[in-house]
A and B are shown apart, each in its own frame.
Chain A
Amino acid sequence: MTSNPNSVHSNNSVNSVENAPLLEVRGLKMHFPIRRGFLQRTVGHVRAVDDVNFFIQPGETLALVGESGCGKTTTARCILRALDPTAGEVLFRTDDGRAVNLAAIPRKQLRPWRQHMQMIFQDPYASLNPRMTLADIVGEPLLVNGMRDRQARNDRVAELLRLVGLRPEYMQRYPHAFSGGQRQRIGVARALALNPSLVVADEAVSALDVSVQAQILNLLMELQERLGLTYLFVAHDLSVVKHISDRIAVMYVGKIVELAPTRRVFSVPKHPYTEALLSAVPIPNPRVHSQRILLEGDVADPSKPPPGCYFHPRCRYAVERCRIEPPPLVEVESGHYAACHRATELTLRGVMGRETGQN
């Protein structure tokens, strides 16, 4: 466990406004109680998020990756205060340069902050109300935030629809008339309605077909350039993550095990879990046969994690120390953090620069 929550951003926690991160997460914990029996006594805790630290610079895309149950979505939901974290700080930089700890603000006083952070959901079929027209769906956040005039609202909706590549004439239609990709564009338009600075995309392209997935990824990158958006991109698909993110945080059983610029994660991973994860991604090229690292056993149970490093029972490099002492997330090289006792001595295999045989 990181004793010093500032270790992740030691170089960057300078208080000058231009260098300041837009979002900084310190020691974030989300423990869900397990209740049993007639009295619903708490018999344990699921440590869904267990001491997570990271920051995001304005205009940057940080990806949170990991397998199901690793706590990436819970982390995102804590930041947006859809959940109330057990411990930790979520520092959000306002326009005037102040940092506000969102984790400490009472729920009722959150509304002014909520418009600065918006979410794009995974399932474009389930996340749009089938009984509302596009004008209502995209215009709802505007109405809630005080734009009472229907004409003004519709003008803004038309502008937003154009922004995401949909025709404003579609405004009076219902979601069922649109394909999956178009629906996801509607979801993006709604998220952008209030000019947020931070957009959290939770598996935003996972439910889409590949040909449409590429369109949405490109749209997200275009919008980022045009509007200066900052993204927290939660995903499990490493190939997708690679195309969109500047930095990647890899999570395993509620903890960040590695955090580094995208290129470094893929070329010189420093954590054995990252290495195994990279090697498991199938490559769309029949001439390349990746030397796969097959992980033994299952992911650790977040309510009864093993002692020491949570990954040690599946790690092929594990030594005695890994079974006893939990490794802290430390800066191995400049900007490259890993939570592994052997991070500096191991040479792990990445996937970039690998001979692909493709022209």
Chain B
Amino acid sequence: MEPILTVDNLKTYFFQSEGTVKAVDGASFEVYPGQTLGLVGESGCGKSITARSILRLVDKPGRIVDGSIQYYPANGGQALELTELPSDGATMREIRGKDIALIFQEPMTSFSAHYSVGNQIMEAIRIHDRGLSQQAARARAVDLLRKTGVPMAEQRLDMYSFQLSGGLRQRVMIAMALACTPRILIADEPTTALDVTTQAQILALLKDLQRSFGMAIILITHDMGVIAEMADEVAVMYLGRVVERGPVDQIFHAPRHPYTRALLRSIPSIDGEPRTKLPTIRGSIPHPYSRPQGCPFHPRCLERIAGVCDQHEPALARMADGQAVACFLHHREEIRQN
């Protein structure tokens, strides 16, 4: 299968007066049509900035400083290098929303309170399909709300975002993102603000929609449970870098990177024994201004190799079985030069 999006060694830095924050510092992955890529990591690992970089929505003082984002358009046309397009140019605006859509974490704050939700969905439809009449756009909006499981879609269209419950708001957000049947849907923590029973509804909905539209999903979350359920491929991020990547089953059952292994061990599982101590990862995530030298995980790693891990950064190397890992335990010979 051909990828629909390839991100290679992406680096997005924020230049602030206090210093440079390397929010994304070497992220590489591919996205395939009809599949879900899970981007997982703890706060500050750069997963959201990666998503915003793809859509070229990184605000100043942030800037993509290196790497490439190749997007392969629908009709088999030439690959577009998104990092080279002007972020407010016509091509990028065309891609945003129509080809690649984004759902945010906060359904509470992502809508305008001054327009009805229908108004906002119709706006999204008509921006990309200018010939469409008001009535046709409305009909399409009602249809979208029905597809996303909003009861009484016709009436809900004229409501304002604050009149809807959290679950409904997230459904409306998904409807809006699907307005132009995008080929890639980026879902940034789509269920984090929701209750578990609502989360279950939204995840089931996303799966259904993926099946019927065949779109690719980039699912960003910190919840390993959600990843296990939704993703085909997983990229684990730590301090701006993808440290491990592979099929979901391998990531969960044969993780290679010490961080992935430690992360999986420290999740309290609903299958676990009550009142037992959890294995932890010692220390905490370093402050963005004081990133450790060498492998970003080495100060917290129990398996670090003295003189190697604290000196050199391991590259993300593909293993024989297709899994890729950035750790010297697995490819000691390759010590990166730059």
Contact = CB atoms under 8 A, between A and B. Distances in A.
Interface in A219-278: 221, 236-240, 242-246, 262-263, 266, 276-278
A277 B269 contact: no
A218 B267 CA distance: 12
Contact of B264 (A209, A215, A277, A284): A284
A40 interface: no
A284 B198 CA distance: 18
| Residue with the highest number of chain B CB atoms closer than 10 Å, among A276, A284, A288 | A284
A40 to B, nearest CB: 22
A16 interface: no
Contacts of A213: 266, 268
Contacts of B262: 211
Please tell me the size bucket of the interface on A: 35 or more
A221 B277 contact: yes
A358 to B, nearest CB: 8
A287 interface: yes
Contacts of A245: 274-275
Contacts of B78: none
Given A209-B222, A211-B281, A283 B229 contact: yes
Contacts of A266: 270, 274
A304 B169 CA distance: 22
Contact of B201 (A212, A283, A294): A294
A276 B262 CA distance: 30
Given A214-B279, A277-B197, A282 B271 contact: no
A67 B268 contact: no
B275 A352 contact: no
Contact of A211 (B223, B263, B269): B263
Contacts of B293: none
B204 to A, nearest CB: 6
Nearest to A238: B270
Nearest to B252: A286
A67 B249 CA distance: 30
A218 B266 CA distance: 11
Contacts of A218: 277-278, 280
B41 to A, nearest CB: 9
A99 interface: no
B195 A284 contact: no
A221 B224 contact: no
Interface string A279-298: 11111111111001011011
A210 B266 contact: yes
B130 interface: no
A182 interface: yes
B237 to A, nearest CB: 12
B189 to A, nearest CB: 13
Given A218-B278, A236-B196, A210 B263 contact: yes
Nearest to B250: A286
A354 interface: yes
Given A218-B278, A295-B197, A182 B271 contact: no
| Residue with the highest number of chain B CB atoms closer than 10 Å, among A236, A298, A351 | A298
B60 interface: no
Contacts of B168: 298
B249 A282 contact: no
Given A182-B284, A277-B197, A262 B270 contact: no
B203 to A, nearest CB: 7
Interface string A197-218: 0000000000001111111011
A280 B199 contact: yes
Contact of B271 (A180, A294, A354): A354
Contacts of A246: 274-275
B280 A286 contact: no
Contacts of A238: 196, 270
Contacts of A215: 280
A13 interface: no
A247 B266 CA distance: 22
Nearest to B276: A243
A358 B273 CA distance: 14
Interface in A313-359: 351-352, 354, 356, 358
Given A214-B268, A217-B278, A356-B271, 12 more contacts: A209-B43, A209-B285, A211-B266, A211-B285, A213-B266, A262-B274, A280-B196, A283-B269, A284-B252, A284-B264, A285-B228, A292-B200
20 contacts: A180-B284, A210-B266, A211-B266, A212-B284, A214-B279, A217-B268, A239-B225, A239-B268, A242-B272, A243-B274, A243-B275, A276-B197, A278-B270, A282-B229, A285-B269, A285-B271, A286-B248, A294-B200, A295-B197, A351-B271
Interface of B: 42-43, 151, 165-168, 195-201, 203-204, 222-229, 231, 248-249, 252-253, 262-264, 266-272, 274-281, 284-285, 287
